[in-house]
Amino acid sequence: MDILGVDIGGSGIKGAVVDTETGKLKTERIRIPTPQPATPDAVAQTLKQLVDQIGFKGPIGCGFPARVIDGEVLTAANIDKSWINVKVEELFTKVVGQQVYVANDADVAGLAELTFGAVKDYKGPVLFLTIGTGIGSALFINGQMYPNTEFGHIKFKGDIAEHYCADSVREKEDLGFKEWGERLNKYLEYISFLTQPDFIVLGGGVSKKFDKYASKLTLKTKVVPAKTLNLAGIIGAAMYAKTRI
């Protein structure tokens, strides 16, 4: 089944048609800059522009950088505050003119990894973390998602975890990968203690640099880099829509 997967991020809105049987892209990946300010109406219009550019008619799945429950945005940690309490599925469906299904971006990226990536078809407990500007999280057991976790926002080292070891912190504080890896290891040890996964899968841009800090990850839980890399959001969004149809 072909579904349009869309990854809505702070800097870009990316999309492609995905073959949900194989996880392969059926069209070229299109990227349009996220409008600034990224208000609900502006983002909805940009999404329509992307759908029109691809020329797709059919169901659409979107990964969105917020907690989304029953089609409504409930948090806005890294997006415009005007999104809070917006019925995002209704808005996107109305503006685009096609059915749009929306879920948390880390949840859908994790779904891509579980379906086609590093932990394909694994039935035990898996924690997926996407590490970038912040830290997104997705928790799975028996192939089922426990949606809308916010493990990047747990209290840690006197602040919240993503202010201690997100990739943006590494860049801002000019940390070497090994020094940053030691920080990440402390966080992973703590989150592993809380959730007891068999695997932790690391997504986001740092997944491509895994070899630079892997030696610092000394926790007992097996840690692996994501395989779907920057396509995880697009592939996972399409897979999520498939579960809703």
Per-residue pLDDT tens digits for 224-244 = 999 998 899 999 999 999 999
What whole-number distance in Å separates Cα of residue 219 and Cα of residue 37? 41
Whether 153 and 73 map to the same domain: the answer is no
CA atoms in the 13 A half-sphere facing the CB of 9: 23
Helix (H) / strand (E) containing 18: strand 12-19
Instruction: Report the 3 state secondary structure along 200-230.
Output: EEEECHHHHHHHHCHHHCCCCCEEEECCCHH
Domains of the chain: total: 2
Evaluate whether residue 40 is within a structural domain: yes
Written as six digits, the tokens of 6 are 């869309």
Whether 80 and 154 map to the same domain: the answer is no
Burial grade of 206 (CB within 10 A; 0-12, 13-18, 19 or more): buried
Task: Report pLDDT for 30.
Answer: 97
Whether 154 and 101 map to the same domain: the answer is no
Evaluate whether residue 112 is within a structural domain: no
Evaluate whether residue 115 is within a structural domain: no
Whether 153 and 210 map to the same domain: the answer is yes
Written as six digits, the tokens of 228 are 């779907």
Evaluate whether residue 110 is within a structural domain: no
In the block, tokens 């996407």 appear at 130
Could you tell me whether strands 12-19 and 60-64 are parallel, antiparallel, or unpaired per DSSP bridges? Answer: unpaired
Evaluate whether residue 45 is within a structural domain: yes
Whether 7 and 74 map to the same domain: the answer is yes
Burial grade of 60 (CB within 10 A; 0-12, 13-18, 19 or more): buried
Domain ranges, residue 88: 2-105+231-244
pLDDT tens digits, 55-112: 999 999 999 999 999 999 998 777 789 999 999 999 999 999 999 999 999 999 999 9
CATH of the domain at 20: 3.30.420.40
Q: What is the pTM of this model?
A: 0.92
